[in-house]
Amino acid sequence: MIKVNNNFSKLQKNYLFAEISQKVADFTKINPDKKIIKLGIGDVTKPLVPAVIEAMHKAVEEMADEKTFKGYGPDYGYDFLINKIIECDYKSRGIDLKKDEIFVSDGAKSDTANITDIFSIDNKIAITDPVYPVYLDSNIMSGRTGEYNEFTKKYENVTYMKVIEENSFVPELPKEGVDIIYLCFPNNPTGTTLTKDDLKKWVDYAKQNNAVILYDSAYEAYITEENVPHSIYEVEGAREVAIEFRSFSKTAGFTGMRCGYTVVPKDLKIAIGSGEKIGINEFWARRQSTKFNGVSYVTQKAAEAVYSLEGQKQIKENINYYMENARIIKQGLEKAGYTVYGGINAPYIWLKVPKGLSSWEFFDKLLEEKNIVGTPGSGFGPSGEGYFRLTAFGSRENTIEAVKRLTQEM
């Protein structure tokens, strides 16, 4: 008799951003005349830069000509893109990577979820709290967690590492042994960062405990401060314990294009039974070649153009635009008396909700009274309760208008 994967019934009813969309759709239905400003999901609003558009046009022309047409591409990405990634994202920071350590994909969301395929179900995971919901949900689906506890608002068999005001948003090393550690810095949702010294402690911990770090650096392009690491591989020894995820979504406005990549170093080896070690690069390669058919040629040509001189200049302008939005939100809210974090090395502003309100109550109040959509902190985990996330990815006009509305008496 057919049986379902019952782990799905352990999940919260909706994916966080789907739940927000539903609430906004319900509100709009009853209030069609309200001008809603959406600063909820971290979706970009500026169009693709001209260098990318030009590269795509050329690629489309190639696809129209039988001499240059491309069918299936390489499973792990075209060399023209991988070489640029190695040169521009890593070599320029003193990190040496080989071509077969990079896997081009349709984005960091899928990769951070799919990577669970290559690890045993027995592994214990550690996530920061609050956290990007995909890491937890994908482990719930594959059965690596226990049941949800309504009282603690946590899943059993998961180590939650608080990232809160009281510890300056620096997670503490777990006291119990954990096997898979998810770190995302610059952090989604808090917008905070770790120093290289902080990261070194994690690399050392992973080495001592035979653990693996899954490092999501999707927001590295938004780093403005000098001492903030862009890649975990800036830390010595990280190649032996860390997988890194990158995305063109936020860096180059590819949320609707879908392209990212994952680095699985060959030095990352895991002990199996008899003390023998196995390289998990091969496992990921095998997984991808079976379950994924690569990113379209046109999209990879677009991604390649991000690394051209013009492309770099143009995406930098967009990043600066969003970071100016971040500054406007941060300063506006601070002036109005809010306690605000993030917004300096990340496009997210993490604010404390006014006393007496929960994160979801604040969400409802903002939607109903100010017609602004944000993301309730508790949607990212129990320690997010009492916080709220706004994104800097809106238009300048909407950002200014949102700050104006937010700073007026409620």
Residues that bind ligand MLT (CB under 6 A): 41-43, 109, 132, 188
Between 42 and 332, whose beta carbon lies closer to ligand MLT? Answer: 42
Which neighbouring-strand residues pair with 246?
Answer: 261
- Cα separations (Å) of 234 from 96, 206, 220? 10, 16, 13
Least gap, CB of 25 to ligand MLT (angstroms): 17
The C-alpha atoms of residue 115 and residue 136 are separated, in whole angstroms, by 12
Least gap, CB of 360 to ligand MLT (angstroms): 17
Please identify the residue of the shown chain whose CB is closest to the bound ligand MLT: 42
Least gap, CB of 376 to ligand MLT (angstroms): 12
φ, ψ of residue 157 in degrees (nearest 5): 65, 25
Kindly give, in sequence order, each residue whose CB lies less than 8 Å from that of residue 170, ignoring residues fewer than 6 positions away: 163, 194, 198
The C-alpha atoms of residue 213 and residue 216 are separated, in whole angstroms, by 9
Least gap, CB of 382 to ligand MLT (angstroms): 17
Least gap, CB of 245 to ligand MLT (angstroms): 11
Between 42 and 265, whose beta carbon lies closer to ligand MLT? Answer: 42
Kindly give, in sequence order, each residue whose CB lies less than 8 Å from that of residue 132, ignoring residues fewer than 6 positions away: 112, 184, 188, 189, 216, 380
Q: How many residues does the chain have?
A: 410
Element containing residue 102 per DSSP (H, E): strand 102-105
Least gap, CB of 16 to ligand MLT (angstroms): 8
Between 188 and 345, whose beta carbon lies closer to ligand MLT? Answer: 188
Between 107 and 332, whose beta carbon lies closer to ligand MLT? Answer: 107
Between 179 and 220, whose beta carbon lies closer to ligand MLT? Answer: 220
Between 188 and 399, whose beta carbon lies closer to ligand MLT? Answer: 188
Kindly give, in sequence order, each residue whose CB lies less than 8 Å from that of residue 392, ignoring residues fewer than 6 positions away: 322, 323, 325, 326, 329, 343, 347, 348, 349, 399
Its sign, for the CA torsion 142, 144, 146, 152, is negative
